[in-house]
Structure 1
Amino acid sequence: MKKKYVLVGTGGRAEFFYGAMVRDFQETCSLVAFCDSNQTRLDYANKLLDEKYSVGKINTYTADRFDEMIETEKPDIVIVTSVDRTHHRYIIRAMELGCDVITEKPMTVDAEKTQAIIDAIERTGQQVRVTFNYRYAPHNTKIRELIRDGVIGEVNSVHFEWALDTQHGADYFRRWHRDKRNSGGLLVHKSTHHFDLVNFWLDTEPETVYATGGLRFYGKENAERRGETKFYQRAHGNEQAKDDPFAIDLEANDHLRSMYLEAEKEDGYQRDQSVFGDGINIEDTLGVVVTYKNKAILTYSLNAYLPWEGFQIAFNGSKGRIEVQVREQSYINSGGEKGDEGKLKEKVLRVLPMFGEPYEVEVEEKEGGHGGGDPELLNDLFGVPKEDEFNRAASHVDGAISILTGIAGNKSLQTGQAVRVEDLVDLKR
């Protein structure tokens, strides 16, 4: 029997979900309505459904008509892909109206909103799923398998370095993410993926978090300090932006023009703000130390302006070491082909036994984003889930624990002190 879905927030991330539903899961899913604060974006999403996917248009509702949409369409599940700071609003109201929820990561952006979601789940008995596609990437699943099987014994420490380049990394400083009120900063919006992976790999939870860092590269003050002279607030219509490698041209990209430039008349949102303009209050350089309940420690760094995109990890165990290097295809959100996101360019997974010869572990990559992980996640969400020995489907508890590492990190940045995760939220388990 088909389940009925509605989707809230038709921006850059939405098509990953609704495109898959109408293309690959028509036997199990029925997409019945879109909801967004911007009618132009709603109309564009409907145009894509009609012209790109040939499934016809569906009903649209502005954000102030969310309750009306639920009452009229009677969906089983609400998909939430709106701006991060609004996730909790739609998640909670959907559950109060009797719907289950699938939400894009991060589940929300701060401890208060996290607690409100947890309380609503207990109050309503509804379910919330969080979409961690990185869990499903074959190399990440293989890491979990190696650690689970004791290949390097008990893991005592992890060093995890994530690199965002000057194309993808810069994009967070052009968009609404640049305001921490919207995104929780990169420690919440982006690092939630990485903190969830460590929880998944080690099968444990964070206990204490200490963070340091700041805005070191982007922003007007940093540009002035380096002696740069090009200052403008947005790229569109600005001559200085034409030869600026950090600028994007909304007019030159049909998708960006239709989704954002033509929608500006309704809400004034500018998708192409200068990464060296005013108004940025998130960090681009971050270091975090986490102690876990199993006594393992994590040293983590995130930099958003590097020459390459990807991550390097070392797991140090009682019987050896695992080293991982993954280089990913850089991309601009909504600015290119969907398959570009998480596409692998280079991957090395190496085991170094304590008393043996090092060896590389081959991992078969499949078609689709994140080495074939995206199709598996989508099937888990919308198809007939397969038996999964690794339990990669993420619950609201997984979603909460991952963001609480970043939320604790944000609090540590403010106070200069280590933060106990359990002091932030009552998960009611």
Structure 2
Amino acid sequence: MKVGIVGLGFRLGYIVPLFVAAHPDFEVVGYVDPAPAGLPRLQNAKVSAGKQYNTLEALLDNEELDLLMVGSPNTMHLDHIRAGLDRGLKIFTEKPVVTTEAETMELARLIGEHGADRIMVGLVLRYAPLYTDLRKAQQDGLLGDVASIEASEHIPPYHGAFFMRDWRRYDRYAGGFLLEKCCHDLDLYNGVMGCRPSRVASFGGRRSFTPTNAPQSHGANDLEVYHRKPSGWLGSDKVFDSDGDIIDFQTAIIEYANGASMTFHTNLNVPDDFRRFAVIGAKGMAEGDFVRNYFKVTDARTCDKLIDKTYVHSELSDHYGADEQMAADVLAHLLTGAPLPVSVVDALEAGLLAIKIDEARRTRSVINLAETWQRFDAALAGKQRLRA
């Protein structure tokens, strides 16, 4: 299997060795990246990155590829995906797929033209054992009709500081923190609800990573905490006086088409971090935490614990045991056509939700999504080429 990479950043530098481990014939024959931050990790894993090319067009002209992996900054994804589709390639793209509503509609049009099965998306949490168990409990009827979800993604200060220093601090490149980081979570709970969001509202801003909260001294501990995670493209040493427009906390309120609702909270400065959910249904309640590695289901009528489970994950996994499973499943899909638990359309729906939540935060309004979904469906159907 001949593979090309455009954007050899930290993420692809991590997951490509997992693909190689899952299938020895997985061979990277070339990459495009002027400053490949993920290359040292490939070298440490004794995985070749192939030949470096200056442009994606040169890579596609000179190599016969079975798969194009897109790990470039988010704002570049659409052009790179389009180039791969035009060459008839299968594509694996990191999340979020695109960064704006206009790009979403354009990619939906391309999907309508080329087919959704040509694009796979790295929404890795769909492969996590905890999420698999949550969906099984739901399918087994333990929860009943879902009424509401309370969910969060919280990251520790060292990781929040990374966002303040990395290219992701700029909305114009990343699409905003909620889209860049929390599209995973929004996708998961869209899956649980089984229908699209209908209305959103949101509040948030930056209150932790501000000049008034900067440490008074710059000792070794400050360097350890706030500079532990290296930044890549357009990196900066500034944390509390970052020039980015990224937020560091946000709360969203979401109503779904079936009448159920969700609150979602994110914060970039949580020293004892957690990433948890409570899914509350008519028959039972499911609660779990991806960081603290537990899952429980409680019967609503008897209060009996129907499931009480903990997880132990490989130290290799950045995502709670999900990364290795994603590599295996994506390869099975490529080689045998085996189904995947998430599609590019799912990814675009989660991305649109994040984009509209941020719009609601900026405009201080409640946004009805009916017209947005109408345009999205029309673009998928190829009926019109619309831009937001």
Name 1:20's counterpart in structure 2: 18
Q: What amino acid does structure 2 have at the position aligned with 1:351?
A: V
Q: Does 1:244 align with 2:237?
A: no
- Separation of aligned partners in 2, 1:168 and 1:227: 16
For the 8 Å contact 2:29–2:49, the answer to whether it is kept is no
Structure 1 residue 205, shift from structure 2 partner: 2.0
Name 1:290's counterpart in structure 2: 254
Q: What amino acid does structure 2 have at the position aligned with 1:379?
A: A
- State the aligned residue count: 372
- Separation of aligned partners in 2, 1:33 and 1:378: 19
Q: What amino acid does structure 2 have at the position aligned with 1:35?
A: V
Structure 1 residue 229, shift from structure 2 partner: 5.0
- Separation of aligned partners in 2, 1:147 and 1:275: 42
Structure 1 residue 384, shift from structure 2 partner: 6.1
Q: How does 1:240-279 map to 2 (within 5 A)?
A: 240=218, 242-245=220-223, 246-248=225-227, 269-279=233-243
Name 1:33's counterpart in structure 2: 30
Secondary structure at 2:222 match in 1: coil
Measured against aligned partners, the alpha-carbon deviations of 1:256-309 in whole angstroms (never above 9, x if no partner) come to: 5xx95xxxxxxxx45342211241211111010111122210011101101212
From 287, 300, 306, the counterpart of 1:354: 300
Structure 1 residue 422, shift from structure 2 partner: 4.2
Unaligned runs of 5+ in 2: 382-388
Q: Does 1:380 align with 2:329?
A: yes
Structure 1 residue 80, shift from structure 2 partner: 0.5
Measured against aligned partners, the alpha-carbon deviations of 1:58-105 in whole angstroms (never above 9, x if no partner) come to: 11112xx21121121121221111111111110112111221211111
- Separation of aligned partners in 1, 2:160 and 2:56: 33
Structure 1 residue 55, shift from structure 2 partner: 5.1
Relative distance call for 1:168 and 1:152 in structure 2 (3 A) is same
- Separation of aligned partners in 1, 2:235 and 2:300: 50
Name 2:106's counterpart in structure 1: 116
Secondary structure at 2:59 match in 1: helix
Name 1:394's counterpart in structure 2: 342
For the 8 Å contact 1:379–1:385, the answer to whether it is kept is no
Tell me whether 117-126 or 153-162 shows the greater mean CA deviation.
Answer: 117-126
- Separation of aligned partners in 2, 1:290 and 1:57: 42
Structure 1 residue 352, shift from structure 2 partner: 2.3
From 150, 154, 165, the counterpart of 2:156: 165
Taking only aligned residues, the RMSD between alpha carbons, in angstroms, comes to: 2.7
Structure 1 residue 348, shift from structure 2 partner: 2.8
Q: How does 1:318-357 map to 2 (within 5 A)?
A: 318-326=282-290, 328=291, 346-357=292-303
Q: Does 1:415 align with 2:363?
A: yes
For the 8 Å contact 1:23–1:53, the answer to whether it is kept is no
Tell me whether 104-113 or 195-204 shows the greater mean CA deviation.
Answer: 195-204
- Separation of aligned partners in 2, 1:302 and 1:164: 8
Secondary structure at 1:189 match in 2: helix
Measured against aligned partners, the alpha-carbon deviations of 1:200-224 in whole angstroms (never above 9, x if no partner) come to: 2232222221111111111xxx323
- Separation of aligned partners in 2, 1:48 and 1:143: 33
Structure 1 residue 124, shift from structure 2 partner: 3.4
Q: Does 1:197 align with 2:188?
A: yes
Secondary structure at 2:252 match in 1: strand
For the 8 Å contact 2:164–2:242, the answer to whether it is kept is no
Measured against aligned partners, the alpha-carbon deviations of 1:102-130 in whole angstroms (never above 9, x if no partner) come to: 11111111111111211122233471111
- Separation of aligned partners in 2, 1:351 and 1:249: 37
Secondary structure at 2:10 match in 1: coil
TM-score (norm 2): 0.87
Unaligned runs of 5+ in 1: 231-239, 251-255, 261-268, 329-345
Relative distance call for 1:107 and 1:56 in structure 2 (3 A) is closer
For the 8 Å contact 1:208–1:291, the answer to whether it is kept is yes
- Separation of aligned partners in 2, 1:388 and 1:289: 37
- Separation of aligned partners in 2, 1:183 and 1:41: 18
Measured against aligned partners, the alpha-carbon deviations of 1:294-351 in whole angstroms (never above 9, x if no partner) come to: 221001110110121222321221123222234x3xxxxxxxxxxxxxxxxx333222
For the 8 Å contact 2:158–2:227, the answer to whether it is kept is no
Name 2:384's counterpart in structure 1: none
